Amino acid sequence: MIKAGVVGGTGYTGVELLRLLAAHPDVEIAAITSRGEAGTPVDRLFPSLRKRVDIAFSDPAKTDLTACQCVFFATPNGVAMGQAKPLVDAGVKVIDLSADFRLKDIATWERWYKTKHAAPDLVAEAVYGLPEINREAVRKARLVANPGCYATAVQLALLPLVETDFVDRDHLVADAKSGVSGAGRKAEIDILFSEAGDNFKAYAVGGHRHHPEIVQSLRAAGGRDLGLTFVPHLVPMIRGILATVYARVTREADFQQLFEKRYAGEPFVDVLPPGTQPETRWVRGSNHCRIAVHRPMGGDTLVILAVEDNLVKGAAGQAVQNMNLMFGLPETRGLEQVALLP
C-alpha cells in the first residue's frame, strides 16, 4: 500500500483526488492537510465521502508528510514551490497539481503568475506529467508537474499535428470551452450560479496562463516553434472541457490514421471513429480524453475535437495516472471508472 498525502484537500481537485484515491486498491490515504479546516472530518466538508474517507483535515504545521511515500499538492499556485523541497529530499515522490513547476523558463513563469519563484532548481528537475509525451521520464521522476486542464486537452488534440509536418504550425487556433469547476472552489462573484448559469462567454482572450504551458510542451514535442491562438470560454456546466482546434492543411495526409497511430496503445486517449462528434458527458468522471478528426466540407481546414473531464484527465485522474507510473503500477490502476451518463 502506498501511503499518500494530500496537501490542500478542500478544493475541487482535492475532493476529486480523494474520490479516486479512496477507490484505489494500492493506496492508503494517510493525511490530508488544510489550514482553514484543520480538525474538520473530511466527510463533513464532503459528505459524498461518508463511509469511505474517515480521517480529518490536519494542520499542515503539525503533519509530517515525510511519513508518506507520495504527496499530492492540490493547492493554489505558489504553495508547492515553497514546500516540495524537503519532501523530495526525504525521498517522497511529489505530484504537484498546481502550476508551480510547469514552466521551465522562470522569467516566463514569474510574468504569468506574478510572483517570484521560490524553487527554480526544482523546476529544472520536475517532469511535466503528460504521460502521452513523457511516460518514461515520469516513471523515474521524483517531482511531477501535473499539466493544466486546458493544456491537457489542447495538447492531446494538437500533438500528432505538431510532431509531423502536414499543417501550418504557425497559425493554430484552439477554441476551448470549460465547465465552471475549472475555476476552482473559490468565493468569487464571476462563478456564482446566477452569473455563470444560463450564460456563455469567452474570457482571458488577451492571454491565458495555459498558453505558455502548451507552447513550451508542444515546441519540445515538435522540435520547432509554433504559433497558437488560444481562447478559453466558460460553459454553464460543472465538469468537462471541449477543445475545438483548427489547423490549415499544407500537405495532404490521412489525418484519421495519423491520430489513430499516434495514440495506439494509449490507455486514456480514445481516437473516435470518423464523423464522431464527442460530448463532454462521454467522459464525465472518467480519465479518458476522446478525440475526433474532422475535415469540414472537404476544405483545407482540419478540425480536431477533444473532450476530457477537467477534474479527472485534466487534474486528479492524470495525477493518479502519474502516481501509477512513478510506483511501477499498471497505468490504469484505480482509474477504471465508467463515465456517468446521463
The catalytic site residues sit at 149
Q: By CB under 8 A, is residue 333 in contact with its own copies?
A: no
Q: By CB under 8 A, is residue 106 in contact with its own copies?
A: no
3-state DSSP of 215-242: HHHHHHHHCCCCCEEEEEEEECCCCCEE
CB of 236 to its own copies, least distance (A): 5
Angle between the N-to-C axes of helices 317-326 and 12-22, in degrees from 0 to 180, rounded to the nearest 10: 50
Q: By CB under 8 A, is residue 275 in contact with its own copies?
A: yes
- Within 10 angstroms of residue 76's Cβ, the number of other Cβ atoms is 14
**In sequence order, which ranges of 105-148 are alpha helices (DSSP H)?**
106-113, 120-125, 131-140
Query: Taking Cα atoms as reference points, which of 56, 98, 105 lies closest to residue 75?
Result: 98
Q: Which residues sit opposite 271 in a β-bridge?
A: 291
**Is the CB of residue 134 less than 8 Å from the CB of residue 145?**
no
Interface with its own copies (CB under 8 A), residue from 246, 260, 266, 333: 246
Specify the residue, 36 or 91, whose C-beta has the smaller distance to its own copies: 36
CB of 107 to its own copies, least distance (A): 16
Letters for 32-71 (x = contact with its own copies by CB under 8 A, - = none) are --------------xxxxxxx-------------------
CB of 261 to its own copies, least distance (A): 18
Interface with its own copies (CB under 8 A), residue from 152, 286, 321, 322: 286
**Window of 62-70, 149-157, 217-225, 227-235 that interacts with its own copies by CB under 8 A:** 227-235
- Within 10 angstroms of residue 193's Cβ, the number of other Cβ atoms is 9
Residues 288-327 that bind its own copies (CB under 8 A): 288, 290, 294, 296-297, 299-301, 303, 305, 307
Q: By CB under 8 A, is residue 195 in contact with its own copies?
A: yes
- CA dihedral of residues 57, 59, 60, 65 (deg, nearest 10): -60
Query: Taking Cα atoms as reference points, which of 24, 92, 29 lies closest to residue 56?
Result: 29
Interface with its own copies (CB under 8 A), residue from 71, 80, 180, 326: 180
Q: By CB under 8 A, is residue 227 in contact with its own copies?
A: yes
Q: Which three cell numbers stand for residue 190?
A: 464571476
Specify the residue, 91 or 273, whose C-beta has the smaller distance to its own copies: 273
Q: By CB under 8 A, is residue 240 in contact with its own copies?
A: yes
Specify the residue, 204 or 253, whose C-beta has the smaller distance to its own copies: 204
Q: By CB under 8 A, is residue 252 in contact with its own copies?
A: no
* CA–CA dist 60, 5 (Å, integer): 11
How many residues bind its own copies (CB under 8 A)? The answer is 89
Q: By CB under 8 A, is residue 185 in contact with its own copies?
A: yes
Specify the residue, 233 or 333, whose C-beta has the smaller distance to its own copies: 233
Q: By CB under 8 A, is residue 193 in contact with its own copies?
A: yes
Residues 123-142 that bind its own copies (CB under 8 A): none
Place of cell 511501477: 328
Bridge pairing between strands 172-179 and 241-248: antiparallel
- Within 10 angstroms of residue 202's Cβ, the number of other Cβ atoms is 12
Q: What own/partner pairs with CB < 8 Å and gap ≥ 24 does 250-253 have?
A: 250/165, 250/166, 250/167, 250/168, 251/165, 251/166, 252/166, 253/164, 253/166
Q: Is the dihedral of CA 132, 134, 135, 136 positive or negative?
A: positive
Residues 144-173 that bind its own copies (CB under 8 A): 171, 173
Specify the residue, 124 or 205, whose C-beta has the smaller distance to its own copies: 205
**Window of 74-82, 125-133, 231-239, 255-263 that interacts with its own copies by CB under 8 A:** 231-239
Q: By CB under 8 A, is residue 285 in contact with its own copies?
A: yes
